[in-house]
Structures are given as C-alpha cells and as structure tokens.
Amino acid sequence: MLESVDDTEYIKVGIKLKHTGGRAHFMCPACDSIHTISVAYDEADPKRPIWGWNNSDDSPTFTPSINRILGPYPDGSSKICHSFVRDGHIQFLGDCTHAFAGKTMEIPDFPFLLWEKHT
C-alpha cells in the first residue's frame, strides 16, 4: 500500500505491522486483540525483552517465539497464546489454550482504524 505524502514523495506503509517507539504491534486472530513486542532497546524500560525482527512490515519474522499469558480472569483461569511469527504467518504452538492451537495462518491486516480509535 502506498500513501501519498506530497506530489513527489511516497512512503511504504506496512499492512501487517504497526511499529512505534521500538515496539511492533500485530493483530492476533486467535485472541482477537493486538499483541505488542519490543524490537529495539528502550532506555526507559531496559529489562524489557527484545525480539529479533527482519524489519519487514508486510512479511515479518520475529525470534524467538512469542508467549502471551492472558488473564487471570475473574474465574481464576488464564489463557496462553504461544506462537512463532515467520514470513508474515503466525504458527500457533500446541500449548495454546485457544482453538487455533497447532494451526498456521497469515497475519491479518493491521486494523489501523480500530487502533486510531483507541489511542
């Protein structure tokens, strides 16, 4: 997707990722929410883990795996979303507690309009 900046300049806008301030954000179809990871050192939060990233917005690869524990919820339960992101696809690992465990799928387009509403 190309976005016009002025008559002569264009910038590439990634469709699967949004990245701001050293963080990358992508839509997780299993959790129906946005997962955020750090991809650059942050002086304000030096202990935050940093993922390797291939610098691609359209076909991102992150290393190592991304393990999200959601909850605990009011009933005391929690959910696990554990995945590898490679070449623009999410490979959900077998220890995920959601229905996408064991499946691999393309990362959905980033919901920019939704994001703007919430920030």
> Where does this chain bind Zn ion (CB under 5 A)?
28, 30-31, 81
State the minimum distance, in angstroms, from the CB of residue 78 to Zn ion. Answer: 13
Helix (H) or strand (E) holding 27: strand 23-28
Contacts of 28 (CB under 8 A, 6+ apart): 34, 35, 68, 81, 83, 90
State the minimum distance, in angstroms, from the CB of residue 96 to Zn ion. Answer: 8
Q: Which is nearer to Zn ion, 36 or 59 (CB)?
A: 36
State the minimum distance, in angstroms, from the CB of residue 55 to Zn ion. Answer: 22
Residue type, 115: W
Q: Which is nearer to Zn ion, 11 or 73 (CB)?
A: 73
Q: Closest Cα to residue 81, out of 38, 40, 24, 29?
A: 29
Q: Which is nearer to Zn ion, 13 or 73 (CB)?
A: 73
